[in-house]
Amino acid sequence: MLTFILRRLALLVPVLLGVSILTFALVKQIPGDPVSQMIGVDQRTTPEQVAAIRRSYGLDQPLPIQYVRWLGHVAQGDLGQSIRSRRPVTDELRLRLPVTVELTLLAALFATVPALVVGTLAAVRRNSALDYGATIATLIGISLPNFFLATLLVLLFSLRLEWLPPLGYVEFTRDPIQNLQRMVLPALSLSLPLAAVLMRNTRSAVLEVLSQEYVRVARAKGLEGRSVLWRHVLPNAALPIATVAGIQVAALLGGTVIIEQIFSLPGIGRYIFDAIANRDYPVVQGVTLVVAAIFVLVTLVVDILYAVLDPRLRTAR
């Protein structure tokens, strides 16, 4: 067990280093001179000044040294500052990350509940009309772009039915009701593809358990269907379902860009959206790095939890 955790932790290092190298390499993809691109050098700047700027940013150093320096800054929580607002990226992320995390968790909630119920039912009543319906719904769910869904939801709820306040953001601590009112539609738009993936996964996890010997034994000794399901099937299917759910939800963090823009939510997605238009390189780089790092860490936690919770893995490793 401990060796598994240690091995998993050791694996973390190269992945995180790789993520950082890839993010660092992004800057080197800028066509032309990064100094003039990043700092907005105009006609009046003399070559000497450009060279001075280059030196002050350490851009005259060889790449590995630049990388190590940059990594040193990142390790201290310094992701550089926005070209446009001049505010440190880290400060801005600290303000904006909670918005995106709330949105993601709410979407996860919306997705998980129906996915579990329908997925389980579809597996238990395999080949029933409900199962077919669920299969088709899943395929539609993963095919619709979330911005299209958001467009339809806005059209339906706020324009036709005039139900919810369409845009803006109110802090949860200030007014939870208003906050949730504004979060419902974006969270719904995000949740459909997630629900589809989770439902499909729940269905196959439950089917997998249903085919096990111990389920047949439970049936053979005369347990009725419902208690077989609750006592034997679901507990055993829960772990693989939860693992996929954890990873999928973490992946959602980076997928909120368009939704946050549509619903004017000041999260990290909106941050990166604004940065694209202004070619605010440090912002794009910082957000990308942080989101990937969070994803890697969540995957790690999910893996370790799986190993801790699954007795079979506990002894095997």
Partner 1 sequence: MGNRGEGVPASLPLAPPATSPAARVPAAPRLLDVASARRPTRPSIWRAILRQRLALTGACIVLFFVVLAAVGPFVAPNDPTSLVGVPLQGPNAEYWLGTDEIGRDVFSRLLHGARVSFQVGLVAVGIAGTVGTALGLVAGYRGGWVDNVLILLMDIIFAFPAVLLAIAIITFRGNNLLNAMIAIAVVFTPAFMRIVRGATLSVRQTQYIEAAVSIGTPLPRILARHVFPNITAPLIVQVSLVFAFAVLAEAALAYLGLGNKPPAPSWGSMVSGSYGSLRLAPWASVIPGAAIGLTVLGFNLLGDGLRDALDPRLRSAH
The residue ranges that bind partner 1 (CB under 8 A) are 14-15, 18-19, 22-23, 26-27, 29-31, 126-127, 131-132, 135-136, 139-140, 142-145, 147-148, 151-152, 154-155, 159, 204, 207-208, 211, 251-255, 257-258, 261-262, 272-273, 275-277, 279, 281, 284-285, 287-288, 291-293, 295-296, 299
Query: Least distance (Å) from partner 1 to the CB of residue 84?
Result: 13
CB < 8 Å & 24+ apart, contacts of 294-298: 294/250, 294/253, 295/250, 295/251, 295/253, 295/254, 296/12, 296/15, 296/16, 296/19, 297/12, 298/246, 298/247, 298/249, 298/250
In contact, 80 and 89? CB cutoff 8 Å = yes
When the beta carbons of 52 and 140 are compared against partner 1, the nearer one is 140
> Least distance in Å: CB of 101 to partner 1?
14
Dist. CA 198–CA 244, nearest whole Å: 7
Burial classification of residue 181, based on how many CB atoms lie within 10 Å of its CB (0-12 exposed, 13-18 middle, 19 or more buried): middle
| Least distance between partner 1 and beta carbon 283 (Å) | 9
Provide, rounded to whole angstroms, the least separation between the CB of residue 44 and partner 1.
25
Which residue, 6 or 113, is less far from partner 1 as judged by CB?
6
- Closest approach of Cβ 173 to partner 1, in Å? 28
**CB atoms closer than 10 angstroms to residue 72:** 10
How near is the Cβ of 135 to partner 1 at its closest, in Å? Answer: 8
Q: CB of 159: closest distance to partner 1 in angstroms?
A: 5
The nearer residue to partner 1, 113 or 297, going by C-beta atoms, is 297
Q: Which is nearer to partner 1, 180 or 296 (CB)?
A: 296
* 100 and 268 Cβ atoms separated by less than 8 Å: yes
d(CA 30, CA 83): 15
Report which secondary-structure segment, H or E, holds 184.
helix 176-210
Q: Give 16 or 307: the residue with its C-beta nearer to partner 1.
A: 16
DSSP 121-168: HHHHTTTSHHHHHHHHHHHHHHHS-HHHHHHHHIIIIIIII--S--S-
- Least distance between partner 1 and beta carbon 64 (Å): 18
Pick the closer one to partner 1 by CB: 90 or 261: 261
- d(CA 35, CA 23) in angstroms, rounded, equals 18
Q: Which of 316, 279, 242, 297 lies closest to 37 in space, CA to CA? A: 279
Closer Cβ to partner 1, 30 or 180, answer by number? 30
Beta carbon nearer to partner 1, 239 or 296? 296
Instruction: Report which DSSP code applies to 33.
Output: -
